[in-house]
Amino acid sequence: MSDNNYKEIWVEALNQLRNQYKENGRENEFNLWFNLDYVSDQGNEITAAVPSGFMLDSMKKRGIIQTIKNKIKEISGSDIEIKFEIKNTSISTEKEEIKEEKEIQKPLKIQEDELSHHPDLNENFTFDTFVPGENNMFAYKASIAAAEAPGKQYNPILLYGGSGLGKTHLMQSIGNYIYKAKKGKIKLAYINTESFMNEFTESLAKKKAQEFKNKYRKLDVFLLDDIYFLEGKDAMQDELFYTFEALYQKKAQMVFTCDRPITELKGIKERLKTRFNNGSCIDMKAPKYETRKAILLKKLSLMNKTLSDDIVDFIAANIESDVRELEGTLKKVVNYGDFMMEKKITLDIVKGLLQENINANLGGNISIDTIQKVTADFYGISISEIKSKKQSKKIAFPRHVAIYIARKITEMSLTEIGEEFGGKDHSTVMSSCKKIEDMIKIDATLDNTIKNLIKEIKSKR
């Protein structure tokens, strides 16, 4: 250890940068990309530890390392070099903990132009093009850990949540990373469950079941999208179970996606549910405003386009449902600018252009009948029951959910909503809303279910 007091300079540099990011509303971005620790210093050099080689490469690409060096020079007046080592890191949630294995020191350097991408995968789905935020940080870091040490601690991974939240993007990022790291010398398959079932059925019809088994049970990486298609398909579940067992024994990396937690799927055999639950089941939620804005800025950068800050803020503030809709809205604005080259895109133009999107997001013209039907169908009861005075849990809970949704996405008063639910008074409506609000605070699964119901309700306008 030298006598240069470089540790104090390091700490001060990071503190100043944190404050700068915080003042600009980018503290979450700071927490992600400045994730490194002072280790020691010697001569005119500081040694710092980073979570992984992938993170180090990403920090370099984004200019994070240079930003730190510039800040250190500003404070110390000297050009101080920084070298890096990979630290053992852990990321904890209430249920799970991520730890990189000691033998994984740094991922293989991958030259993007050396290899073609795997034919099953979208080459644009990479960790670099994914924008992490509070809503998906755990999923993002777990996916990186799985990509750097496939088949080890995080196997299988089940990513669940509503459509358009990035589940397939992260799943394929894992596949793309492993494929390139292994220079294409692996057996990898990405397929959605419906296609998987069709292929299985065809193999039976053509008496080629063994070929199907050989194809999927000898993989190194198995990526299966939308497993909710398995509901009620006993033969397919049996085949997937044995495929799962074979792959798990050979330490093949498995990643699955679903629109809801495995516990909410109906008609799934317990032994298969157990296999999923024994892995890392990770909830992906809709992005918050800060993350939505970061996504828009990232997409604009990838498109080599620019929009004024007030337009980006407007889109981020008003398109809240999912990443797919956010990207679609951005493309709509950018395409308008491309076609109407004689006009400069202003905020007023964008407001007019997106009026329909915003009204849909706010839930305009949504009927109580639609809310009641979609909610009743989901919970397996009738519309007459949801309007009734019955207080059994099977009926009362869906009623609370439907009332909560009606209050959230329509302009109706409490009294008007009560009338639509069998003449309930406004205090009963308030009580239903409060019950669901309290439950959402402690049950992320319910929050996700309600968002999916709202999305389905809006689609039926």
* CB atoms near residue 307 (< 10 Å): 20
User: What pLDDT, on the 0 to 100 scale, is given for residue 93?
Assistant: 33
Residue with tokens 């927490």: 31
Q: Which residues pair with 223 in a beta bridge?
A: 190, 255
User: What pLDDT, on the 0 to 100 scale, is given for residue 191?
Assistant: 93
Asked if residue 113 has pLDDT above 60, the reply is no
DSSP classification of residue 298:
H
* CB atoms near residue 320 (< 10 Å): 16
Using only the alpha carbons of the chain, give its radius of gyration.
25
- pLDDT (tens digit, 9 = 90+) per residue, 239-273? 999 999 999 999 999 999 998 888 878 889 999 99
* Confidence band, pLDDT 50/70/90 cuts, at residue 114: very low
End-to-end CA gap in the chain: 68
How buried is residue 7: exposed, middle or buried, by Cβ count under 10 Å (0-12/13-18/19+)? middle
User: What pLDDT, on the 0 to 100 scale, is given for residue 211?
Assistant: 93
Residue with tokens 């053992």: 88
3-state secondary structure (DSSP) of residue 52: coil
How buried is residue 374: exposed, middle or buried, by Cβ count under 10 Å (0-12/13-18/19+)? buried
Please give the model's pTM, rounded to 2 decimal places.
0.57
* Confidence band, pLDDT 50/70/90 cuts, at residue 360: low
> Does 343 or 382 have the greater pLDDT score?
382
The answer to whether the CB of 276 falls within 8 A of the CB of 256 is: yes
Asked if residue 127 has pLDDT above 90, the reply is yes
Average pLDDT over residues 371-397: 91
Taken as a whole, the chain contains a residue count of: 461
User: What pLDDT, on the 0 to 100 scale, is given for residue 344?
Assistant: 77
Nearest Cα to Cα of residue 333 among 358, 357, 354: 354
Q: Tokens representing 336? A: 């308008």
Give the integer Cα–Cα distance in Å for 9 and 14: 9
Give the integer Cα–Cα distance in Å for 135 and 145: 18
User: What pLDDT, on the 0 to 100 scale, is given for residue 157?
Assistant: 95
Amino acid at 203: S
Q: What are the Cα distances from residue 208, in Å, to 190, 230, 436?
A: 20, 21, 51
Beta-carbon contacts of 342 under 8 Å, excluding residues fewer than 6 positions away, are none
* CB atoms near residue 162 (< 10 Å): 22
* Confidence band, pLDDT 50/70/90 cuts, at residue 165: confident
User: What pLDDT, on the 0 to 100 scale, is given for residue 290?
Assistant: 85
Q: Tokens representing 140? A: 């993002």
